[in-house]
Amino acid sequence: MHRIAFRAAFAAALVAVSCLAVPAVAQTGASSRNYAPGFSQRAAGSRMVVVQTDMELFSQSAGGVLEPRADWTEAAQKNFRDALMAQKRVVGDNTIALQEKDMDELAQLNALHGAVAEAVFIHHMLGAPALPTKGRLLDWTLGDAVQPLRERTGADYALFFWIRDSYASAERKVAIVAMALLGVGLAGGAQTGYASLVDLRTGRVVWFNNLARGFGDLREPEPARETVEALLKSFPEVAR
């Protein structure tokens, strides 16, 4: 639990910086930074599996402490899933959707994706110093860890999501207003999300996008739809 809260707080702290450093990451169309070298679209006739979203929603207390809300997370999972499955450009006839129960044996794979996605965001999308072995290319992989998923589903690609969303409590909103009157700025809630398309034959991340912003609400269907559309704005189509 401490690790989850730390990662959520860490991601929220990056929102202001990331919005300044890469303002067009999730607001524009396809960009070369979203694609691995040599990749531009999914292979014709390929199958894709949608992995259960790694998601957690938090309430932000008056003092800024992030408190997990299971009820919000449950509602958000449904809203996000419904909005995602309505994206026919993304989830066509050759798409498999894994349920939460299907991920019991693959939980570590979702955790691995979260760690890799965080590194991609920091070193590739955010503009932090590039790693010596990667330069400015989208050159990341989940390695052989994806093989059980490929064997289980027969899919060619897997679509992963990692999302943390926090909302200022009524007490936090009062604190924000009070401190603003004193000339002190306090942060409210934040929405941070990563989406990755992984080639299951190689484990390579072939497409990546992120959200890092101070707005959005997954607790309601319509705002959840906007979040899905923003995350998938540059998603690669299937070759014809």
The whole-number pLDDT of residue 215 equals: 85
Q: How far is CA 94 from CA 49, 192, 206, in A?
A: 9, 29, 18
Classify residue 202: in a domain, yes or no: yes
| pLDDT range class, residue 9, cuts 50, 70, 90 | very low
Classify residue 240: in a domain, yes or no: no
Domain range for 90 is: 2-231
Query: What is the rounded distance in angstroms from the CA atom of residue 114 to the CA atom of residue 95?
Result: 22
Classify residue 239: in a domain, yes or no: no
The whole-number pLDDT of residue 139 equals: 93
Beta strand spans in 51-156 (E): 54-60, 66-68, 95-97
Please compute the mean of the pLDDT values over residues 170-196 and round it to a whole number: 67
Classify residue 212: in a domain, yes or no: yes
| pLDDT range class, residue 98, cuts 50, 70, 90 | confident
Instruction: State which H helix or E strand residue 120 sits in.
Output: helix 107-120
Classify residue 43: in a domain, yes or no: yes
Task: Provide the token pair at 13.
Answer: 């702290």
Most confident of 60-74, 109-123, 169-183: 109-123
Q: By C-alpha distance, which of 52, 57, 107 is closest to 84?
A: 52
Query: What is the rounded distance in angstroms from the CA atom of residue 33 to the CA atom of residue 207?
Result: 9
The pTM score is 0.81
**Residue 23 pLDDT greater than 70, yes or no:** no
Query: What is the rounded distance in angstroms from the CA atom of residue 70 to the CA atom of residue 63?
Result: 20
Classify residue 31: in a domain, yes or no: yes
Q: Give strand pairing partners of 168.
A: 60
Classify residue 191: in a domain, yes or no: yes
Classify residue 238: in a domain, yes or no: no
Q: Which of 46-60, 77-91, 130-144 has the lowest mean pLDDT?
A: 130-144
- Map tokens 């450009």 to a residue: 89
The whole-number pLDDT of residue 178 equals: 55
| Number of domains the chain is built from | 1
The whole-number pLDDT of residue 31 equals: 63
- Map tokens 């999300």 to a residue: 193
